Structure formats: C-alpha cells, structure tokens
Structure 1
Amino acid sequence: MHQLLVFSDLDGTLLDHDTYDYGPALPAIARIKALGGLLILASSKTASEISPIHQELDLGDAPMIVENGAACVRASAIGTQDADYRAIRQVLRTLDAPFRGFGDMSVEEVSEQTGLSPDAAERARARQFSEPGLWHGDAHQRAGFLAALARHGITAREGGRFLTLSFGATKANQMQRMREQHAPCFTIALGDAPNDTEMIASADRGVVVRNDHSPQMPILPNEQHVLRTELPGPSGWCAAMFQLLAEWDDNEKGTASHG
C-alpha cells in the first residue's frame, strides 16, 4: 500500500478567496482521513498563522509547509526554530540596504501594508525562516542587494508587493522530502497561484483550483496529470479531491488484489 499525501495551498485554494471559509471542503478532508492519508497545509503563511487552521481541521501531527516552502514544521515546533530568520536579519543589518522587512515594521504597519487585522498581522510577523519586506531603492541598488544576499546563500522571491528573503527552499522541495520520508507514497498537490506551480508539477496528480482573482496558471509540464476545477476555492477543491481519491482508492484495491 502507498501512503497518501495531500499537499494543499490555503488562500484561494482550500480557503475561499473572500470569506476564508473551508467548510465546502470538509467532506473530502474526512475522506482523506478515512483512507489513512495525510493533509499537509502548504502556504506562504507563518506557522503561527497556519496553526489555528491546522487545529480546527484536526490534522494531528501532520507537518505544515510554512513561509512559502522555507521550512516544514510540526505543530509542536512552532516558535522554537528561528535560526534562519535571525541569520537573515543579521545579514540585512550588515548591508544597510533600502529594504524594510516585517522585522523593521510595527504590528500596525504590517496591518496597514497587508490589510490584515492587528492579531493576524502579529502572527504574520512571527517569522522563523523568511523575511518579507518592501524595496525602496532603484533597480541598480536592487541588483547589488540581490548579489550581496546571494553571497550569503539568501534568495529573494517577488510576490505581489513584497520581496521575500529566504535560504531558497520551496514548497516542491519540502514535498520531495516528505515523499522520501513516507515512501512508497502517492502525492496530490492543490494550488491556485503561480507560486504553487512547482509543487503541482512535481506531484503524482495536481489540481489547479479556479481563482478568478489570481493570475492565470500556465500549462504545466505534467498537464496530462492535472485537473483544473470549474468551481473556485474549497468547492472546487472538494470536487477534485473526491475524483482523485476515488481513482487512487480503486488503483490501490486493484494492486492489492493482484499482489
């Protein structure tokens, strides 16, 4: 038997774009659990932000991929690992560049820049592995900044208004590590935005969840193994998962009967 691993983005995928509701996806989540699968939440959010959703969904000791793939942590490790973040902040202090990270901002400023409530902004500032921020310099300064970061092993990814610094791991990297830990396994990855494409393309089956508020997702290298939902958010998530879980369960039963 293969271990079932389901990797899911949050905003616009498992969570409704406008209401952040995951209710329509609950029947499929219950089915994943009934089949002995693990649901691994994978988001650009911090562990502190993901943890309440993880608890509400009763995902037990399933790990979480946090800060856009910068790390994979279990609920018990939230807040206990921040060496990467401290190292990034130390490098920033030596560079004295026109970059203003979340660590330079107050809770009120993060709330203003992101539209998050003060409580949510405080959780977003609870960084452990990466540092988002705003660039205030020109293009020439930016090129020098990125080159200096690279000499320290730090990469920068642009998403929306923010430039996010980390030591380079991605959602797809973390998914591969989980694959190795749980081999033999079968992976499903769901997402709605360009920063999910690598994870979706690396899975055995991928799902692009419709999100009319997100840039259009490109054709993927494994497109023949990708479902694109007609319904948005958790409704599309649920429909796609039931289809893929039925196929996977049938294949597993067929393998067992011929084994």
Structure 2
Amino acid sequence: MAAATSKKALRFFSQFGAFILTRFSFWNCFSMLMLFAERADVKRKPDIQVPYLYFDLGAAVLCASFMSFGVKRRWFSLAAALHLALSTYVSYVGGQVHYGDWLKVRMYSRAMAIIGGFLVLASGAGEVYRQKPRTRSLQSTGQVFLGIYLICTVYSLQHSKEDRLAYLDHVPGGEITVQLLVVVFGVLALSYLSGCYVRVASQILAVLLPLIVLFIDGNMGYWHRSCHVEFWNQIKLIGQNVGIFGAVLILATDS
C-alpha cells in the first residue's frame, strides 16, 4: 500500500514537472512581448529584429502547443530545444541591447538550462505511459546543460556583486550561508555533469529552487530599482527558473 502511494506521488510530481516545462514557452513568449512593449515606451529595441521576432514567437508557440497536447512530444521537445538555442544565439550576436556581464550570465545560463530541460523531455523522461525506450544520450546531454547552469550560478555568487548582495541581504547567515550555497551548487553541478546521483541532486535542487524564486528572484524592488533590470526581463527570468524547476522535478522523480 505504501509503495503504491509512493509510486502515485512520484508520478504526480513527474507529470507536474512536465506540465510546467511543456507550457514554459507560452509564458516566455508573453513576458517577451511585455518586455518589448516596455522598451517601446522608451524607444529601445528588442533583442531580435522585428521581422524575425514574429517567426521566433510563432515557432515557440507551435512547439509548446504540440508538447502541451502530447502530440509527438519527443520530437517537438527536441525542436523547442533547438529553437531556443538558435533564438538565444541570435539575440546574443545581434547586439541590439546592451546588458551588463553579470546579467548576461543570469540570462544565458538560464536559457541553457531550459534547453537542457527540453532535451530531458525529448529523451522520454516524464512520460506517463512510455511506449518507446528512453534516449539516455539526450537525457545525459540535458543534464550537462543543467550542470553548466549551476556552474554559472556558482560563478555569479563568487564574482557578481549584484547576485551576492541579493543573497546577503535576504538569506539568514550572511556570508557563511552564501559560501555554503556555493559548495552545494558546486556539488550538484558535478553530479549533473558526471551523471552520478542525479536523482538525489535533483531532489535537493527541487527544494532549493522554489525558495530562490520566492525570496531572491521575487524581490522585484531589488532587481528592478537597485540593479536596473527591466521589470518584464526580471519576470522572464523568474519564469525561466520555474521552467528549470519543472525539468528538475522530472529528473527527481523519473530519472
């Protein structure tokens, strides 16, 4: 009886993670549109040139729609990963908007983690009734992307004044807690990169991420007013961390 209940709970969390991740692109597109509307008021350019922006948004919505309805989920998860990689690259090389180095690390590392999450989904993880064997190579690649995201988090906590202050001002314990988090994130990164104890690492990260979203990312006054991060850009970053949480839930319950 206890085993059956535990299995149902794991399946529920796995489905919940897949639900979040498959619908991430909808929220990402909405926050991007709101961000570009915010910039239009002050005559700033979007990250991607306007003619290509509509194709970018259309492709994201198309992939998200098919993933959400479970139609060829593996194929469209892979397509979503490739699309996000291309979109991020175009945004980066376009150079239409200047970002500080610390903000670039936050933005592009999270985009990389979402790409990893889509690859995990494309491997067959998170499927309720798996009809085909899981593609372990895709899952391993996705885990590497998540590991790189955690390494970037460690880097930010060590070298970004803005990120360090966000934690120092809002996490009990001050510098000691920050250094403990650096160690924890570093160990979790090694786990994802090596493929060892991924399930345990994901369970730990699934506990930490909601706290980070709530107390660190959710501190809009600090990021928007003190660090001058655009309001909807910060909302987009919050959405990315929620999407990463969805990927981590899948790995924590179905790895």
**TM-score, normalising length from structure 1?**
0.29
Task: Choose 1 or 2 for highest CA Rg.
Answer: 1
The structure with the largest strand share of the pair is 1
